[in-house]
Amino acid sequence: MRALLELFVRWAQAAAPLLDLAVRLYVAEVFFRSGVLKLKNWSGTLYLFREEYRVPLLPPDLAAWLGTFNELFFPVLLALGLAARFAAFALSIFNVIAVVAFWHVLKNNEAALNSHLFWGFLLLVILCHGPGKLSVDHWIRGKVYTLRSPGSPSTPTARS
């Protein structure tokens, strides 16, 4: 039984980077697709922001531009795993604002509200756990660590 448990743990550890990548790609795709749809029908997007969405503190046209930018820029970072925690944080704030702005509809649509909660949970996992080994952040961190490790050519050695 112990060998079976150890095998499962090794398998789970080996699969973790792929799961991290899958979570990032899934969330990025959801938000990016929404941004592309906004761009494809910009007049419809402006109408929705002026008439339907209730974004607090922002004029509707500015909210439309910022919302579309968020949905097109931060998912790319998230998918690449570049500044992934920052991208996950930005998309989390955007997700909360979307729920607030559209609450008058979402409160009666359990499926849509649950989607936002699910995306928020996945973004929270990325925020807390990081982007994983299959990310640009992990690659950069490895390069920085190599440059800072004792005895590396870029690190001055102590003189006697």
The pLDDT value recorded for residue 145 is 81
Q: What is the pTM of this model?
A: 0.86
Query: pLDDT tens digits for 127-158?
Result: 999 999 999 999 999 988 887 766 655 555 54
Domain borders along the chain are 15-148
Residues 7, 9, 11: CA angle, nearest 5 degrees: 70
CA-nearest of 95, 113, 92, 117 to 104 is: 113
Query: pLDDT tens digits for 78-108?
Result: 999 999 999 999 999 999 999 999 998 899 9
